[in-house]
Amino acid sequence: MRGFDSWPDPLDIALLRVVGQGEGQYDARRIDLNYSAHHPPKGSTILERLKGLERAGFVERLTAEGVGGRWGLTAAGAACLEHSTAE
């Protein structure tokens, strides 16, 4: 799993969008299902990618409920999405 030394790539932005759509109600399994319906696999699991985005400060695990916990955007993740849609 690569670190996030810079801005997330387009597939990670797409993953952030799915997390944002869930508004803290999606667990990792639901995020995986929604994301995978529209994007190709990237070599790591969605949970691994969520943990990488968490280390970078873009998402946070809100609870341990559900498969892999429930996830939400941080302020940095929301700003990242705002910036990506403004381009």
Is residue 35 within 8 A of residue 86, CB to CB? The reply is no
Partner residues linked to 60 by β-bridges: 72
Instruction: Please compute the mean of the pLDDT values over residues 20-25 and round it to a whole number.
Output: 92
Helical residues (DSSP H) of the chain, grouped into ranges: 10-22, 28-36, 46-55, 75-86
pLDDT tens profile 27-57: 999 999 999 999 877 788 899 999 999 999 9
The sign of the CA dihedral 77, 79, 80, 84 is positive
What is the value of pTM for the model shown? 0.82
pLDDT averaged over every residue in the chain: 86
Please state which CATH number belongs to domain 10-86.
Answer: 1.10.10.10
Specify the pLDDT at position 32.
94
